[in-house]
Structure 1
Amino acid sequence: MLDIMSKSLNRRQFLEGAAISLASAPLIGATPAAAQSSWAALVQSVIAEGQKFDPALVVETARQLARRPLVPVVTTDLPDGYTTLPFDQYAGIRAQPGGLIWAGENRGFTIEPLHRGYVFSSPVSLFTVEDEVVRRVAFDRGKFDYGRVTPPPANVDLQFSGMRIATGLERPYEVAIFQGATFFRSLARGQNYGSTARALILRPGETRGEEIPFFRAFWIERPSPASGSLVIHALLDSESLTGAVRMTLRPGDITLIDVEMTLFARQALDHVGLGCTMGTFLSGPQSRRSFDDLRPSVHEVSGVQMLTGNGEWIYRPVSNPATLQVSSFMDSNPRGFGLVERERDPAAFQDDDQRFELRPSVWVEPLGEWGAGSVQLIEIPSDSDVNKNVILYWRPRQVLAPGSETTLAYRQAWCWQPPERPALAVSGRVRQGRGSQARRRRFIVDFTGDRLADAAVVASTRANITATPGTIQNVRIWPYPERKLMRVGFEVDPGTENLSELRLVLQSGGQPVSETWLNRWTW
C-alpha cells in the first residue's frame, strides 16, 4: 500500500519563492558579454561546427560546464520593445516557408525556429546534424514574417527561443513545441495542446524558492525519410547542475518521447523532480470550489494515475484547493505515473473554443530502476483556466552529491489514455456535497469495467473504504451490471480535523476488483 504524506503551504510564499529564483538566476557569474563569449567558446571547443557529431560530446560539454559556475543568460540584446510585446503581436512572428528546416525534403518532419520576444527572452542555440556533421542554424531576420512588429536591425544574431516541430508529408501538423526554460508540449493525433512537460524541476513548492533549469542548445538529427522518428539532443543548465538530454520523438495515435538524461551536480541537491508534467484544473464535479462560469467543468487534467512498484493501480482526482496542497505518494521503483484526462464527453465542458475533452493525458514509464522516492503532487489555488496549477513529478529520495553523475531514462506517452491500463474497474465521475451532519461530507464514486457485468463478481463485491484521520459512515453500493457500472456512496466524518485522506477499493474474495481510488478532503 502506498504511503501518503500531505502538506499545506501558503500560496503567496510559493509563488514569491519561484519568482525570486527566476529573477536571481542571471546574476550569477561574469558580466553578460563575457559570460556569453565564455559559453560559446566552451561549446565550440567540444562540439565545433562542421565536425562529426557524437552524442557523447553533448555529455562531455555538460560535464565540463558543471566544473564552472553558472554562465548567466543574456537577455539584454533584444531590440527595444520585444520583451513587452503583446502576445498576439508576438504570435504573429512566424518563420516563412523558406525558414523551415528540411521543408520540401520529404523527411517526415520540419522544424520551425521560434523568434525571441514576449516572455521568451532567453536565447537558445539550434544546430542540426546532417550526414553526421554539426551545422549551426544561423539567425536570419529575412526568414521571418514579422506581421505588425518592426523587424530587428540587420546583421544581428538573436539566436532563437526554441522550436516548433511538425510531422506529416501531405498535411503537416504540429506535434511538439520546445520553448522556455525546459518546458515542452506534445500531443497525439487529433488532440489539442494541453499539459506541459518539464525536462527537470528543482525545489518546487519550497519557501526558499524554486530553481529554474533551462535549455542552452539543441542538436537535431536530420531524419531519414521513412524513419518516423526525430532525435533531439539538448544541453541543460542551472545554478546547481548541468545535464545532457537525448529525446526520441515518435508521433502518432500515441505520441511517444523517450528521454535519456545524464545530470552533473554542481551542488548538493535534495529536491529533484523527474518526469514532470503540469496541467490545468479549475473546476469539476469532484471539486468543492465553484466559480461564476457558464461551463459545468473546466479542466485539462482530471487526476493522477499511478502504477506502483508492487503493481497496485491508483487513481487520485485532482482539485483546485483553497490553500496550496502538496502530497507525496511514497514508492520504490515506480512502474508508471501521470496526469490524465478521463473526461472525454464534450457535454461535460460545454466549451466550443477550449475543447478540454481533446487535451492529452501524459503517462511516464520509468525505464530501469529508479529506487526509493515519491510521486509528488502540487495543487495550487487558481481562478483562471490558463494557469498550470497542478504539478506532478517523481522525487528521488537519494540526494545528488556535488560532483556526482546521474543517468536515468523514461518513456513519455502523450495519449488519449495511458498505453498500459489496469485489468480492473476504473473510477469515473466523482461527486461530493453536504453530508447528513454539519462536518460530514458525502461522496459518490462511479466505477466502470467489464468485470462489473459479471453477476457473481457483483454479488460478492464489497467496498473497502478508509479515512485517515476520520471515520466512514453510511456506505451504500448501487450495482448496474447492464451498464458495467457500480456506484459507491459514503460519508466521511473527520471529527475535529480539517484534512482527511480517503482510500476506496472494490474487493471480491479479498482481491481487488477495481483500481484504488484516493482523495484528499479538506475543510
Structure 2
Amino acid sequence: MGRAGKLALGVLPLLFAAQSWAFDLNDVAIQAQALAAESYNQPQSRLPDALRELPFAGYQKVRFLEDKAHWRDGKTPFQLYFFHQGMHFDLPVKINEVTAKGTREIKYDPAMFDFSDLQINRDELKDLGFAGFKVIHQLNDVGKHDELMSVLGASYFRIVGKGQVFGLSARGLAIDTALPSGEEFPRFTEFWIEKPQPDRRSLVIYALLDSPRATGAYRMEIKPGRDSVLDVQAKVYLRENVEKLGIAPLTSMYLFGANQPWPRPNYRPQLHDSDGLAIAAGNGEWIWRPLNNPQRLNVSSYRIDNPRGFGLMQRGRDFNQYQDLDDRYELRPSGWVETVGDWGAGHVELVEIPTPDETNDNIVALWRPEKLPAPGEALDVAYRLHFSRDDAGLHDPKLAMVSQTRLSEGDIKQANLIRQADGSTALVVDFVGEELAKRPADSAPQVQVSVDDNGELVEDSLRYNPVSKGWRLMLRVKVKDQARPVEMRAALVEDGKPLSETWSYQLPAHE
C-alpha cells in the first residue's frame, strides 16, 4: 500500500521515475493496526552499564560529530543529527530515510560520536542504535545551523521558532496520566523521514508508536519560521481499553511566579516554562487558567465540545519578570494545539504535580476524548501545533486577555493610610487587549465573578490601568478551609456579552 502500481504503456519514462515510489501515513497505519492485534512485545535494552550509569553531566559529554550529519552535503535545507543512547534513554529507535527510490535505514555507527574522556568499550556498541534525532535548520542567522526539533525519549519532542529557546515539550500520546494505577508512556519505535528537495521549506516525518495498550501511526510536517508549526495527522489503535487517553499532550514546568511567589529569597521573580493553560472552546468562550505548583497532585478538567484549541502558554515576555541570563525563560515558546476537524465531546485536562525545583516537568495538558475506539479500530485525529512567542496572535482579537495574575496578602487601607492585613487573600488580575484599549478610562465594563463555597468574596473592584490601557480587577477572598482549594472565575462583560476571556483560577490547598 502507498506504492504506485505499474504504469500504462506509452507513459513517458520521465514520469515513471517520478512515480516509482510513494510512502504515506497508511504505510505506517498498516503496521500500527497489525501491532495492535498482537500482544505487546516488551523491548529489551542492550545498553552497556558504562552508558546506563552515566550522570546527566556525563551523558552530555557524548557529542554527535557534526561532520557526520545526515544531508550535510547542503542539497536540502535540513540536516539530521543523532542522539546516543545513555542514562534512561536506553532503547533504540529505528530511523529510516524516504526518497523517490524507496526507504533505507540510517545505520548507527559509534564513529559518529565523540565520547570525550568516558571509558567506553566501542566493541560493545555494535549495532546499538540511536536514542533519537535532531532536525537542524538555518533558523536565525545566515550560515548558522540551529536546532529546530529534538526527538528524544518515549514520544516526546521539542520545537522552537526563530529567536526562541527550548522550553515545553509535546508528546505523541499519553495514557492514564495522573491516575493511581500509574502512567503508561507510549514510545515512538521507528521513524521514516522524507529527504526534502532543495527548495522544500518543510520536513515530513512519519512515526510508529507502540505501548502495552496502544499503537499509533503519525505523519508530522514541520514548517520552521518566526512561529514554527507542526502539522500532525495520527491514527491511534487500542490493544485494550484504557481509562484515560490523552491526545496532543503538552508537558511543561512551573516552579513559581507572580501568582505563587517562592517562599524563600530568590533574585528571579518567576521561574517557569509556561504560566497558564489557555482553552478556546467550541462555543466561542476562551478560558485562561494560571498554573500552580501545588503541595499535592492536582487535576483540573474542563468539559469542552469540539474544542478549537488549547495550549500551555508563556505570556510573560519581559526579561525583568525572570532575570535569568542562563535560561532565558522569556524566550521560551508557548505551545498551542489548533484542532483540525470535529473532535467531538471531551475534556481539556490540566495536571499539576508538586516539584521542589526546575528540573522536573510537572505540568501536563491534554485532550481526553469522551468516546474511545474499540480495540483495533482507528481513532483519527489531526491538529496543528504552534510554537510561538506571540500569544496575542493566537488569541481571539475581539476578546481581552489576562496579562498577569498577582497574589498578595489582603489588606484594608485605614484612615491613617496604613494598610492593615485582614486575613484575606488578594488577587490582582490585569486584562489587556486591542479592543479594551479603545475604551474610555471612565467607562468601566461590568465584571462577573464567582467563588466556590470554600471562599468568601469580600472585594471585587475594577479600575482603569493607564499603563497597560486595560483594566485591573482586585479580588479579596477569605478561605474557609485551608486544606481545600478555592475555585474562582471572573470575566469582563457588557450587555451580557463577553469582553474578555474567562479567568479561571484555583487557590491551591495548603497542608
Give the structure-2-normalised TM-score: 0.88
Structure 2 distance, partners of 1:519, 1:476, is: 17
Q: What is the aligned partner in structure 1 of residue 13 from structure 2?
A: none
Asked if structure 1 preserves the Cα contact closer than 8 Å seen for 2:493 and 2:499, the reply is yes
Q: What is the aligned partner in structure 1 of residue 407 from structure 2?
A: 432
Q: What is the aligned partner in structure 1 of residue 394 from structure 2?
A: 420
Note closer, same or farther for the CA distance 1:288–1:147 as it changes in structure 2 (3 Å cut).
closer
Q: Which among 448, 459, 476 is matched to residue 461 of structure 2?
A: 476
Structure 1 distance, partners of 2:382, 2:443, is: 44
1:231 and 2:204 matched: yes
1:449 and 2:424 matched: no
Identity of matched residues, %: 33
Displacement after TM superposition at 1:227 (Å): 1.1
- 1:479-511 CA deviation, whole Å, 9 max, x = no partner? 135641211112123445732211111112222
The 5-angstrom pairing of residues 390-409 of structure 1 reads 390-409=363-382
Please state whether the residue corresponding to 1:57 is helix, strand or coil. helix
Displacement after TM superposition at 1:406 (Å): 1.1
Q: Which among 109, 116, 134 is matched to residue 140 of structure 1?
A: 109
Please state whether the residue corresponding to 1:479 is helix, strand or coil. strand
Please state whether the residue corresponding to 2:235 is helix, strand or coil. strand
- 1:95-128 CA deviation, whole Å, 9 max, x = no partner? 2234211002331000012111122111111100
Q: What is the aligned partner in structure 2 of residue 215 from structure 1?
A: 188
Structure 2 distance, partners of 1:445, 1:143, is: 52
Asked if structure 2 preserves the Cα contact closer than 8 Å seen for 1:269 and 1:400, the reply is no
Note closer, same or farther for the CA distance 1:435–1:104 as it changes in structure 2 (3 Å cut).
same
- 1:260-295 CA deviation, whole Å, 9 max, x = no partner? 111111101231001111111111110155234332
1:466 and 2:450 matched: yes
Asked if structure 2 preserves the Cα contact closer than 8 Å seen for 1:52 and 1:134, the reply is no
Q: What is the aligned partner in structure 2 of residue 18 from structure 1?
A: none
- Consecutive unaligned residues in structure 1, runs of 5 or more: 1-50
Displacement after TM superposition at 1:57 (Å): 1.7
- Aligned residue type for 2:253: T
- Consecutive unaligned residues in structure 2, runs of 5 or more: 1-19, 412-420
Structure 1 distance, partners of 2:348, 2:253, is: 18
Please state whether the residue corresponding to 1:472 is helix, strand or coil. strand
1:372 and 2:341 matched: no
Structure 1 distance, partners of 2:50, 2:262, is: 39
Note closer, same or farther for the CA distance 1:146–1:465 as it changes in structure 2 (3 Å cut).
same
Asked if structure 2 preserves the Cα contact closer than 8 Å seen for 1:340 and 1:360, the reply is yes
Q: What is the aligned partner in structure 1 of residue 94 from structure 2?
A: 125
- Aligned residue type for 1:445: V
- Aligned residue type for 2:134: R
Q: Which among 16, 22, 34 is matched to residue 64 of structure 1?
A: 34
Worse overlay, 79-88 or 408-417: 79-88
1:507 and 2:496 matched: no
Q: What is the aligned partner in structure 2 of residue 99 from structure 1?
A: 68
Note closer, same or farther for the CA distance 1:441–1:231 as it changes in structure 2 (3 Å cut).
same
Structure 2 distance, partners of 1:495, 1:290, is: 22
Please state whether the residue corresponding to 2:225 is helix, strand or coil. coil
1:162 and 2:146 matched: no
Displacement after TM superposition at 1:378 (Å): 0.5
Q: Which among 263, 273, 278 is matched to residue 305 of structure 1?
A: 278
Worse overlay, 242-251 or 93-102: 93-102
Structure 2 distance, partners of 1:410, 1:316, is: 22
Note closer, same or farther for the CA distance 1:272–1:191 as it changes in structure 2 (3 Å cut).
same
Displacement after TM superposition at 1:377 (Å): 0.3
Structure 2 distance, partners of 1:299, 1:115, is: 28
1:363 and 2:348 matched: no
Structure 2 distance, partners of 1:494, 1:444, is: 16
Structure 2 distance, partners of 1:226, 1:440, is: 61
Structure 2 distance, partners of 1:407, 1:458, is: 51
Q: What is the aligned partner in structure 2 of residue 21 from structure 1?
A: none
Structure 2 distance, partners of 1:274, 1:304, is: 16
Asked if structure 2 preserves the Cα contact closer than 8 Å seen for 1:141 and 1:151, the reply is no
The 5-angstrom pairing of residues 36-47 of structure 1 reads none
Displacement after TM superposition at 1:431 (Å): 1.4
Asked if structure 2 preserves the Cα contact closer than 8 Å seen for 1:70 and 1:239, the reply is yes
Asked if structure 1 preserves the Cα contact closer than 8 Å seen for 2:444 and 2:462, the reply is no
Aligned residues: 472
Q: What is the aligned partner in structure 2 of residue 78 from structure 1?
A: 47
Displacement after TM superposition at 1:91 (Å): 1.7
Q: What is the aligned partner in structure 2 of residue 39 from structure 1?
A: none
- Aligned residue type for 1:474: E
Q: What is the aligned partner in structure 2 of residue 110 from structure 1?
A: 79
Structure 2 distance, partners of 1:270, 1:89, is: 38
Structure 1 distance, partners of 2:275, 2:190, is: 34
Displacement after TM superposition at 1:58 (Å): 1.1
- 1:61-89 CA deviation, whole Å, 9 max, x = no partner? 111111111111111x2223110112223
Please state whether the residue corresponding to 1:326 is helix, strand or coil. strand
Structure 2 distance, partners of 1:460, 1:320, is: 33
Displacement after TM superposition at 1:154 (Å): 7.0
The 5-angstrom pairing of residues 170-181 of structure 1 reads 170-181=143-154
Q: Which among 174, 184, 197 is matched to residue 201 of structure 1?
A: 174
Structure 1 distance, partners of 2:125, 2:358, is: 41
Worse overlay, 453-462 or 262-271: 453-462
1:261 and 2:246 matched: no
Asked if structure 2 preserves the Cα contact closer than 8 Å seen for 1:259 and 1:410, the reply is yes
Note closer, same or farther for the CA distance 1:86–1:510 as it changes in structure 2 (3 Å cut).
same
Note closer, same or farther for the CA distance 1:519–1:154 as it changes in structure 2 (3 Å cut).
closer
- Aligned residue type for 1:138: K
- Aligned residue type for 1:515: E
Note closer, same or farther for the CA distance 1:474–1:279 as it changes in structure 2 (3 Å cut).
same
Q: What is the aligned partner in structure 2 of residue 37 from structure 1?
A: none
Please state whether the residue corresponding to 1:337 is helix, strand or coil. strand
The 5-angstrom pairing of residues 287-302 of structure 1 reads 287=260, 290-302=263-275
Worse overlay, 364-373 or 443-452: 443-452
Note closer, same or farther for the CA distance 1:458–1:67 as it changes in structure 2 (3 Å cut).
farther
Structure 1 distance, partners of 2:131, 2:125, is: 18
Note closer, same or farther for the CA distance 1:509–1:229 as it changes in structure 2 (3 Å cut).
same
Worse overlay, 411-420 or 204-213: 411-420
Structure 2 distance, partners of 1:438, 1:240, is: 53
Please state whether the residue corresponding to 1:104 is helix, strand or coil. coil
Structure 1 distance, partners of 2:380, 2:405, is: 40
RMSD value, Cα: 1.9
Displacement after TM superposition at 1:248 (Å): 0.3
Please state whether the residue corresponding to 1:158 is helix, strand or coil. coil
Displacement after TM superposition at 1:458 (Å): 5.3
Worse overlay, 220-229 or 510-519: 510-519
Q: What is the aligned partner in structure 1 of residue 9 from structure 2?
A: none
Displacement after TM superposition at 1:323 (Å): 1.5
- 1:316-336 CA deviation, whole Å, 9 max, x = no partner? 100111121100011011001
Asked if structure 2 preserves the Cα contact closer than 8 Å seen for 1:282 and 1:320, the reply is yes
